[in-house]
């Protein structure tokens, strides 16, 4: 394909790529920015600094979300999550009420094109330092930049479909005249590019936070999945499974704890954005935005009732079928990953020792010294208040536990800064892509092997079905519950059934937990006094789709909308179209 050369009009602010600190991660937010290539990349030191700048561009702390990892928002645009506040740019991406001038749409576009431009400039400019580098190091560095570029493009085509595509620096006016390239063309190029990059990389990264052979291959599988090239997905993931040094960490919850990420048992975490212990400015506010307002959090991001109800009971049956499901105690007898992923009424969470934690209508104070909870039946029993500032202080009754470490904040907001790294890729995703590919190819026995590896780690019974439709339901549910709140589901939601799946699950009122009060029953724990029944599941999809049988007993939020084919892609930002009249708009905007 035609490669367009691009030399930027403004300096890349070289100091911004010298250090991995929080200030530098917000540089170059205009996607047209890139480094001056005239006086840089003249030696090995500058080459390494330039590569650091490429990684900074896809850091988990991307503007405008400040210290909140941008990737944590992506599942909120699907049936798996929700924003606290509808009616603003980020919340509108979940409700389906966004327009082409939406600020979040523009921010995501800008951020990932910064990454593309930095990678292109590095690959082009580092040739000046080639003679100063060992051949293996040079090849590795170029390969790493190619992987980061593919990572950025995967997000761009997932969000927008056909997009401007360039693999070298552009020059002058070409910036504002480039046309869109088809998603299929981009995918084919990137898969080939990643195949070449993988040959130059080792199975394990040279340091935490860098990409590897496995990551390059995993991205190839993601790209092939977008185009439904299931044979390529199967081939690539088979190679990772049989040749790579990866296995599942026996402790699921440790994947989302700092100590567990450092240990990285089984090398399950293939690529993570780490927060440095020695750098006081390197941290995430994810705990703050996901935590309950009763614990000095904001409850800005929460799991949906859809996700909560999607977790099977421990017998392997969905809650509409399992005799183990009790609507009065929906947190009991469920897939163990549920308690490790979400917090719902009846659960407990390590609270701020100088604050209180609201659960149901009652107020509980958790003493981190005695490890005991004291119940007060006189505080915050407002039966009419379920909003952000109500007794539950958790919007729909649910909170994220994943990426929100349980710990004592000791009455201080200072503890809200979190050092838990954001995972870009892990081995469980590879297994589940492998399983889904083999389901679609009709090799059900191979699909079951990969599915059951993930289920076994979770403590769930193996699936024994030899029915393609049932295995498709199982692997889709497995991908959603295993990878919830990891920012990957949007691509699947839009791809499944050519958008018919999304149309089914993204239209309607966003319901929440039961509105009834809870009582503490001896030897049984907390129970709803008048619980809502289990929702109705779609027989074909195997997911909850209808909560109206208990609507009067549930919390509820906004109406969501999904229109086909419009909402299979976000609009090209209006500001980009205004600058470049060669850009066409997506259907429906």
Could you state, in order of their start, the residue ranges of all structural domains in the chain? 1-72+95-200, 285-411+513-532
How far apart CA 43 and CA 50 sit, in angstroms, is 11
| pTM greater than 0.85 | yes
What is the per-residue pLDDT across 487-506, written as a single tens digit (0 to 9) for each?
A: 999 999 999 999 999 999 99
How far apart CA 408 and CA 295 sit, in angstroms, is 10
pLDDT at residue 87, as a whole number: 76
Q: What is the mean pLDDT of the chain?
A: 85
What are φ and ψ of residue 510, in 5° steps?
-90, 100
Q: Is 369 in contact with 311 (CB distance < 8 Å)?
A: no
- pLDDT tier at 120, thresholds 50, 70, 90: very high
Residue 127 has pLDDT above 50, yes or no: yes
Q: Which residue has the higher pLDDT, 453 or 11?
A: 453
Mean pLDDT of 191-200: 99
pLDDT at residue 256, as a whole number: 94
Q: Is 463 in contact with 451 (CB distance < 8 Å)?
A: yes
* CA angle (139, 144, 147) in 5-degree steps: 125
What is the per-residue pLDDT across 42-100, written as a single tens digit (0 to 9) for each?
A: 899 999 999 999 999 998 655 444 678 899 999 999 999 998 877 789 999 999 999 99
How far apart CA 56 and CA 271 sit, in angstroms, is 14
How far apart CA 54 and CA 76 sit, in angstroms, is 27
Mean pLDDT of 219-240: 99
- pLDDT tier at 387, thresholds 50, 70, 90: very low
How far apart CA 317 and CA 313 sit, in angstroms, is 6
pLDDT at residue 36, as a whole number: 56
HSE, CB side, 13 Å, CA atoms: give it for residue 132: 12
Residue 377 has pLDDT above 60, yes or no: no
Q: Could you list the beta-strand ranges (E) of 71-203.
A: 81-83, 163-164, 170-171, 180-181
Burial 379-415 (b: 16+ CB within 10 A, else e): ebeeeeebeeebbbbbbbbbbbbbbbbeebbeeeeeb
HSE, CB side, 13 Å, CA atoms: give it for residue 163: 26
pLDDT at residue 416, as a whole number: 53
- pLDDT tier at 167, thresholds 50, 70, 90: very high
Q: Which residue has the higher pLDDT, 502 or 358?
A: 502
Residue 409 has pLDDT above 70, yes or no: no
What's the burial of 552, exposed, middle or buried (CB within 10 Å: 0-12/13-18/19+)?
Answer: exposed
**What are the respective helix, strand and coil percentages of the chain, to the nearest 5?**
45, 10, 45
CATH class of the region 1-72+95-200: mainly alpha
What is the per-residue pLDDT across 411-448, written as a single tens digit (0 to 9) for each?
A: 444 445 678 899 999 999 999 999 999 999 999 999 99
Q: Could you list the beta-strand ranges (E) of 429-577.
A: 508-514, 518-521, 525-528, 536-537, 544-546, 554-560
Residue 375 has pLDDT above 80, yes or no: no
What's the burial of 207, exposed, middle or buried (CB within 10 Å: 0-12/13-18/19+)?
Answer: exposed
From the list 59, 52, 61, 156, the residue with the least C-alpha distance to 112 is: 156
Residue 382 has pLDDT above 50, yes or no: no
Q: Is 214 in contact with 244 (CB distance < 8 Å)?
A: yes
Mean pLDDT of 449-453: 99
HSE, CB side, 13 Å, CA atoms: give it for residue 348: 18
Residue 476 has pLDDT above 90, yes or no: yes
Q: What is the DSSP letter of 38?
A: S
Mean pLDDT of 525-532: 90
Beta bridge partners of 508: 560
Of all residues in the chain, what percent carry a pLDDT higher than 90?
67
pLDDT at residue 227, as a whole number: 98
Q: Is 310 in contact with 485 (CB distance < 8 Å)?
A: no
pLDDT at residue 473, as a whole number: 99
Beta bridge partners of 511: 556
Q: Is 16 in contact with 22 (CB distance < 8 Å)?
A: no
Mean pLDDT of 254-277: 94
Residue 17 has pLDDT above 50, yes or no: no
Residue 41 has pLDDT above 60, yes or no: yes
What is the per-residue pLDDT across 303-340, written as a single tens digit (0 to 9) for each?
A: 999 999 999 999 999 999 999 999 999 999 999 999 99
User: Cβ–Cβ contacts within 10 Å for residue 100, how many?
Assistant: 18
Q: What is the DSSP letter of 173?
A: G
- pLDDT tier at 21, thresholds 50, 70, 90: very low
Question: For the chain, first and last CA: distance in Å?
Answer: 29
pLDDT at residue 555, as a whole number: 85
Mean pLDDT of 527-538: 96
- pLDDT tier at 162, thresholds 50, 70, 90: very high
- pLDDT tier at 406, thresholds 50, 70, 90: low
Residue 363 has pLDDT above 60, yes or no: no
What string of DSSP letters covers 26-87? G---STT-----SSS--SHHHHHHHHHHHHHTT-S--TTSTTS-GGGGGGGGSTTEEES--S
What is the per-residue pLDDT across 129-147, written as a single tens digit (0 to 9) for each?
A: 999 999 999 999 999 999 9
């Amino acid at each position: 394909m035609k490669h367009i050369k691009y030399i930027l009009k403004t300096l890349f602010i070289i100091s911004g790529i010298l250090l991995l600190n929080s200030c530098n991660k917000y540089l170059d937010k205009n996607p047209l920015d890139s480094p001056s290539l005239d006086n840089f990349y003249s030696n090995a030191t500058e080459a390494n600094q330039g590569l650091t700048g490429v990684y900074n561009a896809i850091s988990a702390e991307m503007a405008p979300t400040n210290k909140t990892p941008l990737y944590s928002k992506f599942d909120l645009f699907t049936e798996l999550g929700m924003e606290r506040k509808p009616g603003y740019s980020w919340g509108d991406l979940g409700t389906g009420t966004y327009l082409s001038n939406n600020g979040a749409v523009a921010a995501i576009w800008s951020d990932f094109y910064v990454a593309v431009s930095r990678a292109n400039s590095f690959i082009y400019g580092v040739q000046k330092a080639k003679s100063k580098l060992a051949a293996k190091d040079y090849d590795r560095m170029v390969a790493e930049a190619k992987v980061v570029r593919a990572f950025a493009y995967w997000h761009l085509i997932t969000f927008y479909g056909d997009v401007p595509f360039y693999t070298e620096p552009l020059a002058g006016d070409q910036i504002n005249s480039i046309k869109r390239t088809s998603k299929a063309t981009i995918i084919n190029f990137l898969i080939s590019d990643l195949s070449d990059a993988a040959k130059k990389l080792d199975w394990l990264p040279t340091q935490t936070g860098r990409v590897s052979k496995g990551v390059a291959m995993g991205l190839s599988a993601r790209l092939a999945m977008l185009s439904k090239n299931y044979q390529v997905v199967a081939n690539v993931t088979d190679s990772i499974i049989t040749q790579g040094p990866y296995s599942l960490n026996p402790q699921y919850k440790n994947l989302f704890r700092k100590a567990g990420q450092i240990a990285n048992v089984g090398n399950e975490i293939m690529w993570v954005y780490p927060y440095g212990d020695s750098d006081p400015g390197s941290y995430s506010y994810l705990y703050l935005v996901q935590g309950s307002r009763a614990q000095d959090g904001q409850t800005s991001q929460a799991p949906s009732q859809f996700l909560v109800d999607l977790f099977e009971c421990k017998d392997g049956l969905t809650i509409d079928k399992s005799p183990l499901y009790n609507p009065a105690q929906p947190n009991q007898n469920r897939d163990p990953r549920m308690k490790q992923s979400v917090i719902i009424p009846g659960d407990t969470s390590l609270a701020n020792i100088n604050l209180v934690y609201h659960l149901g209508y009652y107020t509980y104070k958790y003493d981190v010294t005695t490890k005991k909870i004291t119940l007060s039946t006189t505080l915050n029993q407002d039966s009419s208040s379920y909003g952000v500032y109500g007794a539950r202080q958790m919007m729909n009754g649910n909170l994220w536990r994943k990426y929100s470490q349980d710990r004592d904040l000791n009455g201080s907001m200072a503890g809200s800064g979190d050092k838990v790294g954001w995972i870009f890729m892990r081995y469980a995703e590879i297994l589940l892509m492998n399983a889904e590919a083999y389901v679609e190819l009709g090799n059900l026995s191979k699909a079951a092997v990969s599915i059951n590896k993930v289920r076994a780690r979770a403590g769930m019974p193996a699936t024994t079905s030899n029915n393609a439709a049932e295995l498709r339901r199982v692997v889709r549910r497995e991908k959603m519950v295993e990878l919830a709140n990891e920012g990957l589901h949007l691509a699947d939601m839009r791809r499944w059934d050519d958008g018919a799946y999304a149309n089914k699950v993204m239209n309607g009122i966003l319901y929440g937990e039961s509105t009834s009060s809870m009582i503490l029953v001896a030897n049984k724990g907390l129970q709803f006094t008048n619980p809502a029944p289990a929702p109705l599941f779609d027989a074909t999809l195997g997911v909850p789709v209808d909560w109206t049988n208990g609507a009067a007993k549930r919390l509820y939020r906004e109406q969501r909308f999904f229109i086909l084919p419009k909402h299979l892609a976000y609009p090209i930002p209006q500001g980009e179209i205004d600058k470049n009249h060669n850009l066409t708009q997506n259907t429906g905007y």
